[in-house]
Amino acid sequence: MKKRYSYLIRPIQIIIDIVIINGIVYFIYDPQFLNFNFLSYISLFWLVISYLLGFYKVYRHTSIFKIISLLCKQGILFTLGYFSYFGIFTEGVVVNNQFLILVTIFSSISLVKLLWTFLLKKYRSLGKNYRTTIVIGFDASSKNIIDLFKSKANLGYKYLGYFSNEVSGNGDFLGNFNDVFTYVIENTVDEIYCSLTSLSEDQIKEINKFSIDKNIILKLIPNSNELYNNNQKKEYYDDDLLVLNVHKLPFEFPENFYIKRIFDIFFSLFVCVFILSWLAPILWLLIKLESKGPLVFKQAREGINGKEFICYKFRSMKINSMSDKVHASKNDFRITKIGAFLRKTSIDEFPQFINVLLGDMSVVGPRPHLESLSLEYQKEVDDYLKRHIVKPGITGLAQVSGYRGEIKNQSDIKNRIRFDIFYIENWSFYLDLKIIIRTIFNVFTGEEKAY
């Protein structure tokens, strides 16, 4: 398996740019700029407009003209924000070195970005940091993409060959459509390019499902004379070669992971400091008075990518040998009186905010399952494993939609997974906030299935 480092490129670029911004202010060393308020403002403003403009969404096929266009847009907005600071805090007075700092910051970042692009292309032309590709179909459009892969090594694509039911015979031919799946399983393939004119709709769906399961990027090669819907993302390779990028899941964009993780840390710290700090001692006393055993119950659960972690909960049951095998049911004799209250209000889940700080869980996400139950559900529910591409959550869309607690029949787990996958495919920061608000509301009102 080829090691991946490409995911580090954007974070490194962001860090370099923030260091440049703060470093230039430091080296010019003007006390009117070298202060926490100014440095925080311009750093945060740079990050916000970068996110809104997609300043760091530069791909290996992005042209130099597109990069220059991004630099111009970023420069205009950053300039407006930069001068807004002085309008707000210094009543518009022109401060010494005001223009020098602005020009030096942006010219330095522009130079570094262009140099970075040039060096990456040079590095890729040497056969480094490449993506392996195969093409399915062999018509005029797919030939154009193949010629591009072969002629422009600096894009960083390693073309392995093509599959076709109609055309064969040259050295690039790898087999027919039915051979694709076996070849991909036996070889390292990063991206699949499918010709829309060579494959049927059912074949495209089959390839799409396969690529999702194997975490492979799928791109479609259209007929250049056809028109396509706005919800299909168009990408141009070599300026005039159109490729349709199949809709990406929100968590395929690294910035979404960072946004979610930053929120998780701050929200969990707030809960731990202002709620758990006084709640835990009170519950320790109440739980100990009713039954013997520890305050916190620990259990192995499946996390992101199926990796096992120890999940924490306030103990709501008497010590028993079935806790790792059987879900709690209505009127379960194992549940203590204080435990019934904790489960009804979901307060028993509060120690999982420590799991969030440790990086094992998120505040919102699919609920983590026991490995034994997970293996059972995989056989019953299609796309079950897709829920493992994100961290499990303390609460989730399925839970606030009525699918929590005991699983009595197959439809319960199918509906729960249906909501989990909908959440993964349609995630947004606002959806997380909505789920958290609904969860807080349920804590005070109680839930029918919370037992």
Q: How far apart are CA 49 and CA 45, in angstroms?
A: 6
Calculate what percentage of the chain has a pLDDT beyond 70. 86
Q: For residue 105, is pLDDT > 60?
A: yes
Instruction: For residue 56, give the DSSP letter.
Output: T
308 DSSP β-pair partners? 302
Q: For 219-244, write each residue's pLDDT tens digit.
A: 887 764 443 444 455 565 655 565 65
Q: At which residue do the structure tokens 């529910």 appear?
A: 381
Residue bearing the bigger pLDDT, 233 or 33: 33
What would the mean pLDDT of 402-427 be, rounded to a whole number?
80
Lowest mean pLDDT among 377-381, 436-440, 446-450: 446-450
Residue ranges, CATH 3.40.50.720, the chain: 131-248
Average pLDDT score over the chain:
83
Q: Which CATH superfamily is domain 131-248 in?
A: NAD(P)-binding Rossmann-like Domain (3.40.50.720)
pLDDT value of residue 61:
74
Residue by residue, DSSP assigns 168-215 as: --STTEEE-GGGHHHHHHHS---EEEEETTTS-HHHHHHHHHHHHHTT
